[in-house]
């Protein structure tokens, strides 16, 4: 999305439990926050055309990889920014395996390292 860049913050934990959809002339995105998979996500897919969706992957306090793939289907989005993973042991994931599982499902998973950014 021209004009929208997503960046991770090194050394800081930022969390939002409340999910939201951001809509603009440049594109739309969905931020799931610290959530599990819900049927309400289907409503987002029915009402918004998303450029990308930011979904948690850690599985202990939020949805895991399998549910995140299902959530991507629910919100009808193939460009996914992974959130809430690998910041402490209970939410560790195998990043390469996660990317491969999303790819097998026809989706692109972006996993940022601290300080990295990605334009959608």
Q: Kindly list the strands in the beta sheet with 79-83, ordered across the sheet, starting from the edge strand earlier in the chain.
A: 20-24, 27-31, 52-56, 79-83, 108-110
Whether 52 and 24 have beta carbons less than 8 Å apart is answered as: no
All domains of the chain in start order, with CATH: 29-114 (3.60.15.10)
The Cα 87–Cα 104 span in angstroms is 25
Whole-model pTM?
0.84
pLDDT digits (tens, 9 = 90+) for 35-60: 899 999 999 999 889 999 999 999 98
- The 10s digit of each residue's pLDDT in 58-115 is 998 899 999 999 999 999 999 999 999 998 999 999 999 999 999 999 999 999 988 8
Q: How many CA atoms lie within 13 A of 22 on its CB side?
A: 13
């Amino acid at each position: 999305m021209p004009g929208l860049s997503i960046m991770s913050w090194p050394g800081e934990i930022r969390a939002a439990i409340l999910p939201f959809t951001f809509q603009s002339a440049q594109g739309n995105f969905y931020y799931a926050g610290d959530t599990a998979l819900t049927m309400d996500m289907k409503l987002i897919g029915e009402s918004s055309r998303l450029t990308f969706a930011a979904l948690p992957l850690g599985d202990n306090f939020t949805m895991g990889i399998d549910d995140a793939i299902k959530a991507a289907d629910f919100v009808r989005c193939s460009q996914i920014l992974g959130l809430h993973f690998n910041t402490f042991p209970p939410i560790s994931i195998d990043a390469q395996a996660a990317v491969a599982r999303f790819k097998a499902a026809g989706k692109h998973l972006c996993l940022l390292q601290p300080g990295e950014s990605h334009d959608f």
